[in-house]
Structure 1
């Protein structure tokens, strides 16, 4: 990376994605919440988790879900000069569902979301690393 400090901006207060990004970025740069003190600003434009039903039985019971993580971001200087234009990363996973195993399926859902989140963090890290001030 060609910079030493980065600010995270636009994330929800308790964003798991922001937490993981903060940990990953801390290995290569100083992470701050104050954009004025940073060399670059990673701004979250969208940070969402989505779930939709993709298959159900004739009786209306859910059989398959699709999980999605959507992250749209940009990288700027504190003055607003764009280093990376807005970019969107969307990952999805299909998951079978069974009401009798609801607790296990909830754990599986959480694991799938975490895996997608880690993949997004890795992709963001590669893009941010390639950015030049």
Structure 2
């Protein structure tokens, strides 16, 4: 009986370890008009985490329609996103806002503002998304 309980507990733990709230989406499932990609490696610095947080907040507070705007967190090791990683020539943490073939690389602005002016970064992200939605 103890072995069965231990086995069941182990299965639950292993199956839940790979799930993430708001985590990665398969590249085929991206149907939003504007997609905000946050690419990162397995180890992230304080600035990298702040960029992700600002992007998530900007979208959550200003765009409540996943058909219009979708946030996608991408680990650079994720093989499902090789096409996007190559397209944007991503090698480290990057913030990309995309609408079809058009895109804006906001990585430099993200690193410049994430820690010193996170609200300003959120506003810059919101402005860029709105620019794409207006087209």
TM-score (norm 2): 0.35
Q: Which structure's relative contact order is higher, taking Cα pairs within 8 Å and 6+ residues apart? A: 2
* More helix per residue: 2
